[in-house]
Chain A
């Protein structure tokens, strides 16, 4: 069983290599003539005002947290969905209750405006 996963491990390494090799080629064949203007961050012709790692909107953070919640839910749904035809009505109702609680939370965040972007 586990040996089926061996090609996947190899494939990940090959994928990394196929990413690295073109960049190595670019390094070898491309010119390398840096100057201070070329190496400064791009800012539409301005000098960079400040460090780019600035404060950002908290909504991105909110989206990330909501994503974790819902992605976890999907992780729970996956095994349930695969065996749904075997666990019958009991399994189905258990997941409906679980989903119901999550939908309540979803409606709450919706009405609270956590999903608004303007």
Chain B
């Protein structure tokens, strides 16, 4: 590290050297997050097709392989898909607003990536350890809806327009429930910093995780996450049978792929946040020998993988909701539940210290 710093100092002088070194170091760290993430996205699509395939008694993709190795059958599929997408024509409809049409996928994708800046992977491993972490994540995930609505508007196609309207209304509705659920978490953690939220769940076992006292909030958060990423069973925004593909019906080739990447990185982000906020992040389920030997990062990865599996499981299991049912669930079920739970947690926090420090409550209220 010091050598590199000196090299930059020698190359660019004392004024520009440290600044450029800071930029180079951070860009390297960002790449170290983005590259595995993109790989995870690629193989999440493969996992999705494989898992849903087996759930429907099919095999799923099993042909494309690396170097003709037979037992790797299917593992080359995401790479082949990416190559295919690059070779496809990007069609910009003549009636479209060209600048906005090209801007929309980027606007969907950039916030989905940028939110990863504050995610803590292990106790000390976090790119930007800021105190407003959760606020920043909420801001970034809210930005995604702009891409959707701009795409629907710029396409100048009826299906795209309807899909964008639906999607935007749905996403903002569920964002409310999500925000209220996060308020409950903040009341218990006293901090917006994601690392501090995980440390607040430290204890002897998984009983200390916020999953237990905030179980309804976990469900609200996760289901809202499924709805916010427009995944089945809440995927009316792209309901094939009604509006073909929704807001990205006019997109093709790589422009479509960027939307696709954004959706999947948002899925991983929702699963990661749910693991960090409710499932104790990098903490092992039991704080004793065999479990603590496994690095925290692996625990986080396992929790994320399980929640992602749930995403795919939901898609294979549940029939699609009707649009009015989706809006009813968001506004008339989730928001009242979260409001009541905020009140409940608030009341418990007003208990006298002697009661709060008694056995069950002392596990979670510090």
B-binding residues in A (CB < 8 A)? 4-8, 10-12, 14-16, 18-20, 22-23, 25-27, 29-34, 36, 38-44, 48, 51-54, 56-57, 59-60, 63-64, 66-67, 70-71, 74, 77-78, 81-85, 88-89, 92, 95-96, 99, 103, 106, 110, 115-118
Contact with A along B90-124 (1 / 0, CB 8 A): 11111100000010011111111110111000000
In the complex, the answer to whether B169 meets A64 with C-beta atoms within 8 Å is yes
Contact of B349 among A4, A8, A20, A92 (CB under 8 A): A92
In the complex, the answer to whether A96 meets B110 with C-beta atoms within 8 Å is no
Contact of A14 among B30, B85, B262, B342 (CB under 8 A): B30
* B174: min CB distance to chain A, Å: 10
Which size class do B's interface residues fall under? 35 or more
User: Which of the candidate stretches B63-71, B182-190, B218-226, B280-288 sits at the interface with the other chain?
Assistant: B182-190
Task: Kindly list chain B residues whose C-beta atoms are within 8 Å of the C-beta of A99.
Answer: 339, 342-343
Task: Kindly list chain B residues whose C-beta atoms are within 8 Å of the C-beta of A110.
Answer: 332
**Bound CA–CA A115/B22 (angstroms):** 50
If the complex has contacts A7-B117, A23-B106, A89-B350, are A115 and B343 also in contact, measured as CB distance less than 8 A?
no
Task: Kindly list chain A residues whose C-beta atoms are within 8 Å of the C-beta of B86.
Answer: 22, 25-26, 29-30
In the complex, the answer to whether A84 meets B349 with C-beta atoms within 8 Å is yes
Task: Kindly list chain B residues whose C-beta atoms are within 8 Å of the C-beta of A60.
Answer: 165, 168-169
In the complex, the answer to whether A83 meets B190 with C-beta atoms within 8 Å is yes
**Bound CA–CA A39/B158 (angstroms):** 15
* A93: min CB distance to chain B, Å: 9
Task: Kindly list chain A residues whose C-beta atoms are within 8 Å of the C-beta of B59.
Answer: none
In the complex, the answer to whether A4 meets B26 with C-beta atoms within 8 Å is no
**Bound CA–CA A99/B161 (angstroms):** 35
In the complex, the answer to whether B176 meets A74 with C-beta atoms within 8 Å is yes
**Bound CA–CA A80/B243 (angstroms):** 42
Task: Kindly list chain A residues whose C-beta atoms are within 8 Å of the C-beta of B22.
Answer: 6
In the complex, the answer to whether B26 meets A18 with C-beta atoms within 8 Å is no
If the complex has contacts A11-B116, A16-B106, A67-B176, are A81 and B186 also in contact, measured as CB distance less than 8 A?
yes
Contact of A18 among B34, B92, B102 (CB under 8 A): B34
Contact of B335 among A7, A19, A106 (CB under 8 A): A106
Q: Please name 6 further chain A to chain B contacts, defined as beta carbons within 8 Å, in addition to the given A8-B136, A22-B254, sorted by A numbering.
A: A4-B128, A10-B23, A25-B254, A30-B253, A60-B168, A77-B180
* B204: min CB distance to chain A, Å: 22
**Bound CA–CA A110/B331 (angstroms):** 9
CB nearest neighbor in A for B191: A82
In the complex, the answer to whether A40 meets B254 with C-beta atoms within 8 Å is no
**Bound CA–CA A10/B156 (angstroms):** 33
Task: Kindly list chain B residues whose C-beta atoms are within 8 Å of the C-beta of A42.
Answer: 157, 159, 244, 249-250
Task: Kindly list chain B residues whose C-beta atoms are within 8 Å of the C-beta of A14.
Answer: 27, 30-31, 34, 113
